[in-house]
Amino acid sequence: MTCYVLGISAYYHDSAAALLGDGHIVAAAQEERFSRKKQDSRFPRNAIDFCLAEAGITLSQVDHIYYYENPYKKLGRIGSTYLNFGVKGMGSFLSEMPAWLTEKVHVKRTLKRELAGCRSADGACPSISYVDHHQSHAASAFYASPFDQAAVLCIDGVGEWATTSAWLGDGKQLNPLWDIRFPHSLGLLYSAFTYFCGFKVDSGEYKLMGLAPYGDPIYAQTILDHLIDVKDDGSFWLDMSYFDYAVGDCMVSDKFASLFDGPRREPESLLTQREFDLAASVQQVLEGVIIKLARTLKAQTGARHLCMAGGVALNCVANGKLLEAGIFNSIWVQPAAGDSGGALGAAYSGWYDRRQAMRPPQKADRMDGSLLGSCYSDDEIEAALDACGAVYRKVSDDERSEIVAQKLADGRVIGWFQGKMEFGPRSLGSRSILGDPRNPDMQSVMNLKIKNRESFRPFAPAVLEEHAATWFNLNDTSPYMLFVVPVSSAISLTPVVDKTMQGIDKLKVVRSRIPAVTHVDYSARVQTVSEKSNSAFHALLKRFHTLTGCPVLINTSFNVRGEPIVETPLNAYLCFMRTHMDDLVIGPFVMEKDRQPTLNHDVDWRTEFELD
């Protein structure tokens, strides 16, 4: 009989659930995809019900539940921090601690109450155990990786105490080596600049990373002189007089602005060269610290491979620099590296660490391309399309590749919904919006008319795995879009650049044969696509290559700004109809925008057709 363990992350951001059956991933999903609330932090009821339904079991058939952090240790850190900061934190202490003492620390009680309300609940709740936050991150990285032995580096804002931690994975064993503790945090340093540049903390870090290539790191030495003291081994210490996040209600103190030529940028206001330069500066500092930490970890362990997790591991520019440094033979980053992946890591830790189960060797990683979410049958898709009056035609798999490749070559933007949904923040060719990377206007068109987001935000190229080394400086696979690497000299162009250009004006310069995915520093965030990982997407890329000579497509997540990636066919159709996408392809069903009836905006589509 199969033994199931369930991992849960919840109550901070990116709540999720992951189910293992005899140590193998059955399913994993983020609550936001079902609730339609971006980065939903609430109890992941829908994600849990989905995972159990995928296994065909009820809650009572789960052997054990593992939660991704330890609230008692977290409360200890919060209390100790307030004690250390004294009077400065008294107001925040008095407002926050009652909720912790009466509710937040009692997570098991809350989970049991919430689990009783799941559709899959059918009796007694399984036992629940806590797994430390960074152990959850480390387990999600190592146990899901293709390595029998590897060093593991986890970097985020903060867990219970750790903000950076190092581990050595060997078979089923995952042993802690050292950590750096709160309030000294690379993740929170980066988030402080995210806040100061006018973006939302815990979600705007992507934007800060995207801004960096447009600026110059003129503030990097200021950061190193005043904000962070970095030692040769990569250990670091922050001067907390410049920050307010430890006990206050703001990321930075008044002193912070005095270093960087004025106050914080107001959200949604015009971006200036200062913000570009601030982004470039903190990005350079982050990269330098990570490389030092990696060198130290390599010297300590002698490991050939490195695994990474934690929110900072989603900084694919830093990952690319680390890959280029050649410290380790190979690097594997958990595609759900943030808190959602903590659910998977908690389950893995429970299975291997608590149960001491054997870990079978495996050459490929355990993530199945991170396609671990929901999937809809042709009948379910057709019923959803009929319910909202869509006009469609059903085609064969070969016809689908032919039709969509031609539409893309003609400059059309396609919504692409195929197979299982991705787990993690990236669309990897199942819930994607696709475009032609050869079109120099496509980045701005897709950002402003489709995604409703800032024009500077870069797009990622998806490339046939067998052609990746020709088009990019990449000697390994990158299936999860987590490494930024240079485009190859074979496709680079040497344009005449106006040296007076600053900021977003640099976007106007065509730098390669695929300008829509080439950053201003001649780099790109690459996803390699194999037939094994995603056969439908691979077939489309192959057909586009035959048609155009280009094995690359723009691949961006199927959503608009402020919304999660689409989960259902109805989500996809509504997003298609409310944007300037030209065509939509869900399974074998092809839809052209100009053939669709006018969408009735008076209908509450969620209430009419979707579950809670």
Q: What is the pLDDT of residues 57-94, one digit of tens each?
A: 999 999 999 999 999 999 899 888 877 776 565 666 66
Angle at which helix 339-349 crosses helix 133-142, to 10 degrees, equals 80
Are 448 and 441 in contact, with CB atoms under 8 Å apart?
Answer: no
DSSP track, 92-114: HHHHHHHHIIIIIT-HHHHHHHH
* Amino acid at site 183: P
How would you classify the pairing of strands 431-435 and 552-557? Answer: antiparallel
Per-residue model confidence (pLDDT) at position 603: 58
How would you classify the pairing of strands 127-130 and 64-67? Answer: parallel
Per-residue model confidence (pLDDT) at position 369: 96
| Strand ranges inside 266-381, DSSP E | 305-309, 330-333
- Sole residue written with tokens 């250009």: 501
Show the tokens assigned to 51. 């995972």
- Residue of 165, 541, 51, 145 lying closest to 335 (CA atoms): 145
- Note the CATH number of domain 180-333: 3.30.420.40
Query: Average pLDDT over the chain, rounded to whole?
Result: 93
Per-residue model confidence (pLDDT) at position 95: 65
User: How many other C-beta atoms lie within 10 A of the C-beta of residue 39?
Assistant: 19
User: How many other C-beta atoms lie within 10 A of the C-beta of residue 470?
Assistant: 13
User: Is 378-609 a CATH 3.90.870.20 domain?
Assistant: yes
* Amino acid at site 471: W
Sign of the dihedral through C-alpha 307, 311, 315, 318: negative
What CA dihedral angle connects 365, 370, 373 and 374, to 10 degrees? -110
Per-residue model confidence (pLDDT) at position 188: 97
- Sole residue written with tokens 């659930």: 17
Q: Do domains 180-333 and 378-609 have the same CATH topology?
A: no
Per-residue model confidence (pLDDT) at position 363: 85
* Amino acid at site 156: D
Are 15 and 43 in contact, with CB atoms under 8 Å apart?
Answer: yes
pTM of the entire predicted model:
0.95
Tell me the domain boundaries of the chain.
4-137+339-365, 180-333, 378-609
- As a whole number of angstroms, the distance between CA 610 and CA 34 comes to 9
* Burial tier of 270 (Cβ tally within 10 Å: 0-12, 13-18, 19+): exposed
Q: Which residues of the chain are modeled with pLDDT < 50? A: 607-612
- As a whole number of angstroms, the distance between CA 53 and CA 40 comes to 21
Best CATH choice for the domain 4-137+339-365 from the list 3.30.420.40, 3.40.50.970, 3.90.1150.10, 3.20.20.80: 3.30.420.40
Cα dist. 80→104, 160, 246 in Å?
17, 12, 11
Q: What is the pLDDT of residues 115-139, one digit of tens each?
A: 999 998 888 899 999 999 999 999 9
Are 432 and 556 in contact, with CB atoms under 8 Å apart?
Answer: yes
